[in-house]
Chain A
Amino acid sequence: MERESLVVVGAGMAATRFVEELTALAPDRYAVRVVGEESYLAYNRVLLSSALAGEVPVADIELKPARWWRAAGVDVLSGRKALRVDSCEHSVLLEGGARISYSKLVLATGSRAVRLGVSGADLPGVHTFRSIEDAEALAEIGAARKSVLVIGGGLLGLEAAYGLVRRGASVTLAHVMDRLMERQLDAVGAEMLLGSVEAKGIRVLLGASASAIGGDERVQWVEFADGARVETDAVVFAVGVRPNVDLAAGPGLSVGRGVIVDDSLSTSDKSIFAIGECAEHRGVCYGLVEPAYEQARILARRLAGHCDAYEGSVVSTNLKVSGVRVFSAGDFLGEGANPIICKDPRMGVYRKLVLEDDRLKGAILIGDTTGALDYLQLIRSGESLADIRDELMFGASALRKAA
């Protein structure tokens, strides 16, 4: 029987998980081709921070070895950029002119790092932190014991700053908001995190809005809106990502921030699907791996002929800075709800569980993230915790003991 041609554009984590699930569920149904712009086989982008910090060798972050792809019967085209999709012809035009046809097309193009629109943002020495190349470049800067200014006090900025410090750089982190990780932490948690981050040797500037980057031929300084100027050998932008939606233009797919998909993860073209960071579902573009994996799994099940639907994800955040554990999930602010709070400033521990009617709505765990996945599960299930409310904060250790 002729296999149906399925093309995946993008060879990142979502794509890999999707292929893995699909080939397991329906090994003979599709002829799968994966087109990846990067010259590497798919790797675990989440571990780039750990790789930069030197905690994981770069070689180890590859998701699947080449032989696995071969064994799965998947044709991987690495280092090939997809330029355009022709939905009438059901084909994808690749850089270099090749054209591959598809019966079903899955967009898993991910997102790209944003650079601020300030002068000098393209100067040599201005980096982002998205790829293996970025990580390697930053590692070299660190090894040269240079000074680096990281712009952005979110998850990625903190991880980049920490990795750079570990590599030997002198790191300043500038964040435009008045607290770190404001999208994941409340004020108390952010304050706690600030202490821990500073303890790692990172200088933190809050309320610092970069207005210009300058230098002769390469970066030498960054200027801020308040007029302050920081001398630096390098700059790393960690100010967010933008979904890669360029390919949606050809077939005229509906696009918001990302390529809009419905609960079946199909785009406005029923033979084209989108998963991962490039997709926008119910108005949300997830920038995290877990929803991407969930979408990959559900799409694989659907394309394998099973009934399933994606109804959105309750997301959680894990900061991977050694010794500074941060977990955040759900409605972590919990305004108007009843939080349970546990604080140990000296140990850098802050744990907040947001409950409403004895149901867990959100959580922040800093310093001690034990039970994080259990809490995430409870947020997702929405079950009443009236009976175990008193033990909830310490429940993880009880579970461990029971195990």
Chain B
Amino acid sequence: MTAPAEDAFARPSAAAIVATRTTCPYCGVGCGVLASRDGAGGAKISGDPDHPANSGRLCSKGSALGETVGLDGRLLHPMRRGKDGAFVRISWGSALDEAAHAFSDIIALHGEGAVAVYLSGQLLTEDYYVANKLMKGFIGSSNVDTNSRLCMSSTVAGQKRAFGADAVPGCYEDLDEADVIVLVGSNAAWCHPVLFQRIMRNREERGARLVVIDVRRTATAESADLFLQIAPGSDQALFSGLLVYLEKTGALDREFIQKHTDGFDFAMAQARSTAPDIAKTATLTGLRQTDIVSFFEMFAGTECVVTAFSQGVNQSAQGTDKVNAIINCHLATGRIGKPGASPFSLTGQPNAMGGREVGGLASSLAAHMGFEADSVDRVRRFWNAPRMATSEGLKAVEMFDAIARGEIRALWVIGTNPAASLPDADAAQAALRKLELLVVSDNVLSNDTINSGAHILLPAQAWGEKSGTVTNSERRISRQRAFLTAPGETRPDWAIVADFARRMGFSGFDFRSAADVFREHAALSGFENDGERAFDIGGLALSSDAQYNALEPVQWPVRRGERKGPARLFARGGFFTGDGLAKFVAPAPPRLASQLSGQFPLRLNTGRVRDQWHTMTRTGASPRLARHFPDPFVEINPQDARALGVAHDGFARVTTNWGSAVLRAIITDRQPKGHLFAPIHWTQETAASARVGALVGPFVDPFSGQPESKATPAALAPVAYARQGFVLARKPIRLPDDVWWSRVAVAGGVGYRIACDVPDEVWRDALRQASATGDVVEYVDDAKGVFRAATFANDRAEFLMSIDRRMMAWEAALDAFALEKLDSAQRLSILSGGATQGECDEGQLVCACFGVGSKRIEAAVEDGCRAPSEIGQATRAGTNCGSCLPEIRRILAMRQPAPLSNRAVTL
């Protein structure tokens, strides 16, 4: 592996000469990317071999970035909603004046608590900084929160409680050096693929063992040495049981506990009361005692243990306690900040960490400072601020409750889609409609939030166009650099906010560049910071524009006079708790926030799929990524499905107390009995009825305010449609009412996967509307319920629909639709539902990087491939990002003959 570039101001490598070195905009791994324009509206993308996070590797999502930079659906000019409800283009000047005056008026009438800003982990640190400064120093309100509240805030709260600061103790190299890696509530194989491949490499090369703790048997779990399929909400019980076991077996680091921590005895007593022994731990967690013992023995007997955790821990009404239950075990064994030994939060978003460093959340003030009087005073002096916020503001869920109550009257949403992503999202959507002013800064013309009555749209620069810094899960600050020309009138978010602030009459917002903002941010972090605040990048504060532009990935803290930071923290104590001691925090006894009932007898878990990101604003533009899971779905255990009469590949309605959705049913024993799983990616933009946020109950953690997104009581019922099929169009279209649909990007246009009961006449109307030329080809088999049709213009298919009693493969139609010219035979065969000449049906996409489907991999197994590496040689599948390797192993296991020793031998 390439050594990390440790000097923040080191000269850029040769790679920078030919391509722009930037950072991936997806998960919190923060991979380095080499990007350049491809000259055809897209981008050439490869992993940056010199970036320490990924050493050149990229996952399926990162590899497909080049397909996501097109301008379809982009918001390119400021817009205002007219009286007729339609948006009309306006100038930047009038958009910002109008918004600033409305904010000022509302503050004048109703006070600063009547306005709020809602930010995003997708924003750059510089964007966060300016928005946070405006709200907390000039408007005087802490009602600035972020979607990071929904993903990482329990870790923030847990780390603050334990370490006195939101500081990740370890680094990625720990994943290379650990002997046991415990993944808790993390489907890293899909959600942090590049890190997962590091873990798998460690496992293969060094023999590290992988323990996976999850409610679902995920792709990650399938790669584990030990999989603990835990009952939801019981992680504290497991880690309490572990703490008790560590003490019983003498595995504690008494010296570390004594010298560097506080509160051990109480935490231990609490752990004993929760999970005094293996049997009780088993009862609480639903695990087998033998599995628990295996895990405890492995943990106790291995010095180099990393416990990495993610949303399965955070997205809980007891998420903060879960984080502390994990940290407790590491503090108790002194395994923190040491090579290969640390608790490790795997961050969800590309810059949730940057936002946390800025303090761009309602629960902190700025630069790792809270609302203590001296902090408020310090920041006031630094900012020369006229009106400081002096207490915490409303966290995301509270903020939207306040909007619903009419207390917040103006909201500015920047770079996120709360109408889709918040819990009880239908209520959030209704709340947004009540606002006197809803300003949305975004890249897109339409999303669930914009369509919830937004008044003003401000066009922001997107990834590839904007420039600034992001921080990844290991405290590493990397540059996102522009390599595309900013289209239309788009501007950087920090510049939009600064301009707005000036129009509100505030000084202190005369930033000329992202570098300017960064320098002030860095200076604030170091301001009167003599080592008592963890976050300190004072060493970067004086960087010139050129130095900023050339900034190498660097871990914080970088204190004044330093040029690089430590890879690890806390190995020898030095916590930021005032007394320097880490705090053991006793978690409350485990319980879920909601109870099952006769009406809602199942638990709904939510999460991500491998090839999509959030609400698919970017990943949704890639035809390749759409092929892994084209439909919004719910995973159901076979027993539940049987009992409820839901068929595999059919449809089911998931209902909770808060909302409902109709999703394609995937029946799988990867899902435990009584538990459903539905991914979060689909919105009103991309599906008829798949707003999973609307299903999630708004129960939040008392410390972090993070919602319990993974355990909502739910009911499931089968939904039958007479016919299913798909529509391909060049541009998004409006489908007939009563049609179930989900929209995906396809080569040359958009694809709708549909299910319906509407008669053919409705479709004939749609066809007539779709065809400007009247050039229509159709195929009808009434007896079988088949109706397929395509319209053409200049020999290119413009619109194609196919409905049938069951879902037909659409790969062949997609291939034909991608062609610019079809001959007369192809005009018919496009309706055949079968493969066109020379093409083979791939089946479900497995390897997104090389577009290899399950059928091709099955064929490779038939041809004698017996290992993932052989499959890779034969098909290239799994040889890039490796995030499909668990699926390849699954196919291998199912397809290949059992080894001889396992075969029944009769002689």
* A contact residues vs B (CB 8 Å cutoff): 338-347, 349, 351, 355, 368, 370, 389-391, 393-394, 397-398, 401
On whether the beta carbons of A397 and B825 are closer than 8 Å, the reply is yes
On whether the beta carbons of B779 and A342 are closer than 8 Å, the reply is yes
Alpha-carbon gap, A397 to B778, bound state (A): 18
Alpha-carbon gap, A394 to B829, bound state (A): 7
On whether the beta carbons of B783 and A393 are closer than 8 Å, the reply is no
Alpha-carbon gap, A398 to B834, bound state (A): 9
On whether the beta carbons of B784 and A349 are closer than 8 Å, the reply is no
On whether the beta carbons of A347 and B779 are closer than 8 Å, the reply is no
B777 is contacted by which of A343, A397, A398 (Cβ under 8 Å)?
A: A343
Instruction: Please name 19 pairs of A and B residues whose Cβ atoms are closer than 8 Å in the assembled complex, sorted by A.
Output: A338-B781, A338-B783, A339-B782, A340-B779, A341-B778, A341-B781, A342-B780, A342-B828, A343-B776, A343-B777, A343-B778, A344-B828, A347-B777, A349-B824, A368-B824, A389-B781, A390-B781, A393-B779, A397-B832
On whether the beta carbons of B827 and A344 are closer than 8 Å, the reply is yes
On whether the beta carbons of B827 and A394 are closer than 8 Å, the reply is no
Question: Shortest beta-carbon distance, B760 to chain A, in Å?
Answer: 12
Given the complex, which residues of A lie within 8 Å of B834, measured CB to CB?
A: 391, 394, 398
Question: Shortest beta-carbon distance, B330 to chain A, in Å?
Answer: 59
B:279-324 near A, CB below 8 Å = none
B776 is contacted by which of A340, A345, A351 (Cβ under 8 Å)?
A: A345
Assuming the A-B contacts A346-B792, A397-B825, A401-B837, are A341 and B780 also in contact, with contact meaning beta carbons closer than 8 angstroms in the complex? yes
Alpha-carbon gap, A210 to B637, bound state (A): 76
9 additional A-B pairs beyond A341-B779, A342-B779, A349-B828, beta carbons within 8 Å, are A340-B781, A341-B781, A342-B831, A344-B827, A368-B824, A389-B784, A390-B833, A391-B834, A401-B837
Closest to A337 in B: B783
B231 within 8 A of A: no
Question: Shortest beta-carbon distance, B559 to chain A, in Å?
Answer: 70
B430 within 8 A of A: no
Alpha-carbon gap, A129 to B778, bound state (A): 38
Given the complex, which residues of B lie within 8 Å of A339, measured CB to CB?
A: 782
Given the complex, which residues of A lie within 8 Å of B776, measured CB to CB?
A: 343, 345
On whether the beta carbons of A390 and B779 are closer than 8 Å, the reply is no
B545 within 8 A of A: no
Assuming the A-B contacts A338-B783, A389-B784, A390-B786, are A344 and B825 also in contact, with contact meaning beta carbons closer than 8 angstroms in the complex? no
On whether the beta carbons of A390 and B828 are closer than 8 Å, the reply is no
Alpha-carbon gap, A344 to B773, bound state (A): 13
On whether the beta carbons of B777 and A344 are closer than 8 Å, the reply is yes
Q: What is the predominant secondary structure among interface residues of chain B facing chain A?
A: mixed
Alpha-carbon gap, A398 to B781, bound state (A): 19
On whether the beta carbons of B778 and A342 are closer than 8 Å, the reply is yes
Indicate with 1 or 0, residue by residue over B744-755, a CB within 8 angstroms of chain A CB atoms.
Answer: 000000000000
A344 is contacted by which of B780, B786, B824 (Cβ under 8 Å)?
A: B824
On whether the beta carbons of B782 and A338 are closer than 8 Å, the reply is yes
Closest to A393 in B: B779
B:803-834 near A, CB below 8 Å = 824-825, 827-829, 831-834
Given the complex, which residues of A lie within 8 Å of B825, measured CB to CB?
A: 368, 370, 397
Chain B: residues with Cβ within 8 Å of the partner, total of 22
Q: Which of B775, B778, B779, B827 has the most CB of A within 10 A?
A: B779
Alpha-carbon gap, A344 to B827, bound state (A): 8
Closest to A342 in B: B779
Alpha-carbon gap, A349 to B790, bound state (A): 14
Alpha-carbon gap, A389 to B780, bound state (A): 12
Given the complex, which residues of A lie within 8 Å of B837, measured CB to CB?
A: 397, 401
Assuming the A-B contacts A340-B780, A394-B834, are A347 and B829 also in contact, with contact meaning beta carbons closer than 8 angstroms in the complex? no
Given the complex, which residues of B lie within 8 Å of A346, measured CB to CB?
A: 775, 777, 792
Given the complex, which residues of A lie within 8 Å of B777, measured CB to CB?
A: 342-344, 346-347, 349
On whether the beta carbons of A397 and B829 are closer than 8 Å, the reply is yes
Alpha-carbon gap, A299 to B834, bound state (A): 44
On whether the beta carbons of B781 and A347 are closer than 8 Å, the reply is no
Alpha-carbon gap, A339 to B829, bound state (A): 18
Given the complex, which residues of B lie within 8 Å of A389, measured CB to CB?
A: 781, 784
Given the complex, which residues of A lie within 8 Å of B829, measured CB to CB?
A: 394, 397
B:849-898 near A, CB below 8 Å = none
Closest to A389 in B: B784
Alpha-carbon gap, A309 to B97, bound state (A): 96
Question: Shortest beta-carbon distance, B791 to chain A, in Å?
Answer: 10
Alpha-carbon gap, A389 to B784, bound state (A): 9
Question: Shortest beta-carbon distance, A390 to chain B, in Å?
Answer: 6
Given the complex, which residues of B lie within 8 Å of A345, measured CB to CB?
A: 775-776
Alpha-carbon gap, A389 to B779, bound state (A): 13
Assuming the A-B contacts A344-B824, A346-B775, A368-B825, are A393 and B832 also in contact, with contact meaning beta carbons closer than 8 angstroms in the complex? yes
Given the complex, which residues of A lie within 8 Å of B779, measured CB to CB?
A: 340-343, 393
Given the complex, which residues of B lie within 8 Å of A340, measured CB to CB?
A: 779-781, 786
Closest to A348 in B: B824
Given the complex, which residues of B lie within 8 Å of A390, measured CB to CB?
A: 781, 784, 786, 833
Given the complex, which residues of A lie within 8 Å of B824, measured CB to CB?
A: 344, 347, 349, 368
Alpha-carbon gap, A343 to B767, bound state (A): 14
Indicate with 1 or 0, residue by residue over B351-373, a CB within 8 angstroms of chain A CB atoms.
Answer: 00000000000000000000000
Given the complex, which residues of B lie within 8 Å of A394, measured CB to CB?
A: 828-829, 832, 834
Alpha-carbon gap, A346 to B828, bound state (A): 12
B:755-781 near A, CB below 8 Å = 775-781
Closest to B832 in A: A394
Alpha-carbon gap, A206 to B785, bound state (A): 36
Given the complex, which residues of A lie within 8 Å of B827, measured CB to CB?
A: 344, 347, 349
Alpha-carbon gap, A343 to B792, bound state (A): 13
Alpha-carbon gap, A347 to B778, bound state (A): 12
Alpha-carbon gap, A130 to B837, bound state (A): 43
Question: Shortest beta-carbon distance, A283 to chain B, in Å?
Answer: 32
Alpha-carbon gap, A346 to B779, bound state (A): 14
Alpha-carbon gap, A393 to B786, bound state (A): 12
Alpha-carbon gap, A394 to B776, bound state (A): 18
Alpha-carbon gap, A187 to B722, bound state (A): 31
Closest to B773 in A: A346
Closest to B824 in A: A347
Question: Shortest beta-carbon distance, A153 to chain B, in Å?
Answer: 26
Q: Which of A338, A346, A370 has the most CB of B within 10 A?
A: A346
Alpha-carbon gap, A339 to B837, bound state (A): 26
Alpha-carbon gap, A267 to B554, bound state (A): 104
Alpha-carbon gap, A355 to B782, bound state (A): 11
B:697-712 near A, CB below 8 Å = none
Closest to A353 in B: B781
Given the complex, which residues of B lie within 8 Å of A349, measured CB to CB?
A: 777, 824, 827-828
Alpha-carbon gap, A342 to B833, bound state (A): 13
B:630-668 near A, CB below 8 Å = none
Question: Shortest beta-carbon distance, B798 to chain A, in Å?
Answer: 13
Alpha-carbon gap, A389 to B834, bound state (A): 12
Closest to B780 in A: A341
Which 4 A-B residue pairs are closest in the complex by CB-CB distance? A338-B783, A394-B832, A344-B777, A340-B781
Alpha-carbon gap, A28 to B832, bound state (A): 54
Given the complex, which residues of B lie within 8 Å of A347, measured CB to CB?
A: 777, 824, 827
Closest to A400 in B: B837
Alpha-carbon gap, A342 to B784, bound state (A): 14
Given the complex, which residues of B lie within 8 Å of A341, measured CB to CB?
A: 778-781
Question: Shortest beta-carbon distance, B839 to chain A, in Å?
Answer: 10
Closest to B776 in A: A345
Question: Shortest beta-carbon distance, A374 to chain B, in Å?
Answer: 15
Alpha-carbon gap, A327 to B742, bound state (A): 41
Alpha-carbon gap, A394 to B825, bound state (A): 10
Given the complex, which residues of B lie within 8 Å of A391, measured CB to CB?
A: 832, 834
Closest to A341 in B: B780
Question: Shortest beta-carbon distance, A18 to chain B, in Å?
Answer: 39
Given the complex, which residues of B lie within 8 Å of A342, measured CB to CB?
A: 777-780, 828, 831
B:548-578 near A, CB below 8 Å = none
Question: Shortest beta-carbon distance, B141 to chain A, in Å?
Answer: 63
Given the complex, which residues of B lie within 8 Å of A393, measured CB to CB?
A: 779, 828, 832
Question: Shortest beta-carbon distance, B728 to chain A, in Å?
Answer: 17
Question: Shortest beta-carbon distance, A78 to chain B, in Å?
Answer: 45
Alpha-carbon gap, A390 to B788, bound state (A): 12
